[in-house]
């Protein structure tokens, strides 16, 4: 059986799926047609039910709960790993509502966490996450919400942090930050859903066993990133929640649901 599978080219996702999609483990007859895309593209595709299995922002996952269910393995949750609101110079939080904010997609958890922290800020520009730093530097946006590896590079470009949106979430809720997860379409047979969940878990276990060695697959999709940043990325976003959401992870996701209800 062949299933379409979408995830981002970021190191945390390629690290998790490497063994699974590159035939380095037994898949018991399952084959995967992979699509590597920015997470906001995957979020938008999910609204159409385009892929069988897909990485989604949890904010988008809430919107497609009628079509997709969350798998136990492959998620990105944690502490100290949330999106950051950055600018060219320090800005008082009370002024944020008056600024033009670049965001990495309307359906991203980053945008949702920004809305929770700054409900009055509505002047937004939707951009590819990798373009936000330069948009802020050029003045195209007054500030921006950054995710992924930009968390490790914004200071090198002379930008400053206004708010750690993940830290705000943790202070308000006491919960780890639910960023994104792996979702499977509900019309996939239940036994296949369970098999896919186990395979993702096994693929990640295999990646952890070889770490800190980075595979050619991870490197190939992070061409503009040095290996130190790749490992920072993996260390921040891949953890015990990625192997198994557990009670704490599921509680954090349920809290997110209540915050947007």
Catalytic residue annotation: 148
- The answer to whether residues 75 and 182 touch, using CB atoms and an 8 Å cutoff, is yes
Cα gap 75→228, rounded to integer Å: 22
Question: Was 179 annotated as part of a binding site?
Answer: no
- Nearest one of 250, 235, 207, 243 to 73, comparing CA atoms: 243
Question: Was 71 annotated as part of a binding site?
Answer: no
- Nearest one of 75, 78, 77 to 204, comparing CA atoms: 75
Question: Was 110 annotated as part of a binding site?
Answer: yes
Question: Was 165 annotated as part of a binding site?
Answer: no
Cα gap 114→1, rounded to integer Å: 40
Instruction: Work out the end-to-end distance of the chain between its first and last CA atoms, rounded to an integer number of angstroms.
Output: 37
Question: Was 55 annotated as part of a binding site?
Answer: yes
Residues counted in the chain: 261
**Ramachandran class of 143: left when φ > 0, alpha when ψ lies in -120 to 50, beta otherwise:** beta
**Token duo for residue 131:** 């373009």
Cα gap 140→165, rounded to integer Å: 22
Q: Which residues are annotated as a binding site for substrate?
A: 55-57, 109-110
């Amino acid at each position: 059986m062949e299933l379409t599978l979408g995830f981002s080219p970021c190191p945390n996702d390629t690290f998790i799926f490497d063994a699974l999609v590159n035939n380095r483990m037994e898949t018991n007859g399952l084959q995967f047609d992979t699509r590597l895309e920015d997470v906001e593209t995957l979020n938008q595709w999910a609204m159409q039910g385009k892929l069988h299995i897909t990485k989604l922002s949890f904010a988008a996952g809430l919107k497609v709960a009628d079509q997709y269910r969350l798998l136990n393995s492959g998620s990105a949750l944690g502490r100290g790993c949330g999106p950051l609101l950055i600018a060219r110079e320090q800005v008082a939080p009370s002024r944020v509502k008056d600024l033009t904010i670049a965001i990495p997609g309307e359906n991203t958890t980053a945008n949702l966490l920004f809305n929770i922290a700054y409900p009055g800020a509505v002047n937004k520009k939707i951009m590819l996450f990798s373009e936000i730093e330069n948009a802020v530097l050029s003045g195209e946006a007054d500030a921006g919400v950054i995710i992924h590896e930009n968390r490790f590079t914004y200071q090198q470009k002379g930008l400053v942090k206004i708010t750690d949106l993940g830290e705000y979430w943790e202070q308000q809720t006491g919960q780890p930050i639910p960023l994104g997860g792996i979702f499977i379409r509900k019309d996939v047979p239940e036994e296949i859903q369970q098999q896919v969940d186990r395979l993702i878990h096994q693929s990640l276990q295999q990646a952890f066993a070889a770490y800190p060695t980075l595979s050619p697959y991870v490197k190939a999709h992070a061409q503009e990133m040095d290996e130190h940043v790749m490992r920072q990325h993996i260390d921040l976003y891949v953890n015990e929640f990625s192997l198994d959401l557990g009670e704490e992870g599921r509680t954090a996701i349920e809290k997110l649901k209540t915050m947007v209800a």
